[in-house]
C-alpha cells in the first residue's frame, strides 16, 4: 500500500493537471453551451455539459494512468489503495475533497 500522504499527492497532481488542462478547452465548451441555451435547445445543452464533465475526467484519468505506470503500480493496485484508504472516514473525506 502507498502511504496516505503519497496517495493523496497523486490525487492532487491529477486533479490540478486535469483542471489546468481543461481550463483551455472549457472556453470553447462554454461558448457552445451558451449558444445552445440561447436557442432553447435543452438536449444539446445537456450533451455539452455531459461532454465537459467527461473531458475533464478523461484528462485526470490519463494523468493518473501516467503516474501509476511511472511508479510501477497497476490500475488494480491503485484501486486497492483507494479502497484501503477510503475505509478511514477522515481519509475518505480528504479523497472526496481532492476529486471536487
Q: Are 95 and 16 in contact (CB under 8 A)?
A: no
24 pLDDT above the threshold of 90: no
Q: What is the pLDDT of residues 35-51, one digit of tens each?
A: 999 999 999 999 999 99
pTM: 0.75
Instruction: State the DSSP string of 30-76.
Output: HHHHHHHHHHT-HHHHHHHHHHHHHHHHHHHHHHHHHHHHHTT--HH
* pLDDT the model gives residue 22: 92
96 pLDDT above the threshold of 90: no
Helical axes 75-86 vs 42-70, angle rounded to 10°: 100
Query: Which 8-state DSSP code applies to residue 99?
Result: T
pLDDT confidence band for 11 (50 / 70 / 90): confident
Q: What does the longest C-alpha to C-alpha distance in the chain come to?
A: 51
Amino acid at each position: 500500500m502507498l502511504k496516505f500522504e503519497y496517495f493523496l499527492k497523486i490525487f492532487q497532481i491529477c486533479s490540478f493537471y486535469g483542471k489546468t488542462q481543461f481550463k483551455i478547452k472549457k472556453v470553447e465548451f462554454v461558448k457552445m453551451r451558451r449558444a445552445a441555451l440561447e436557442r432553447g435547445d435543452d438536449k444539446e445543452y445537456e450533451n455539452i455539459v455531459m461532454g465537459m464533465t467527461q473531458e475533464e475526467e478523461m484528462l485526470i484519468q490519463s494523468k493518473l494512468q501516467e503516474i501509476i505506470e511511472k511508479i510501477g503500480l497497476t490500475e488494480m493496485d491503485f484501486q486497492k489503495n483507494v479502497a484501503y484508504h477510503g475505509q478511514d472516514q477522515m481519509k475518505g473525506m480528504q479523497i472526496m475533497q481532492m476529486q471536487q
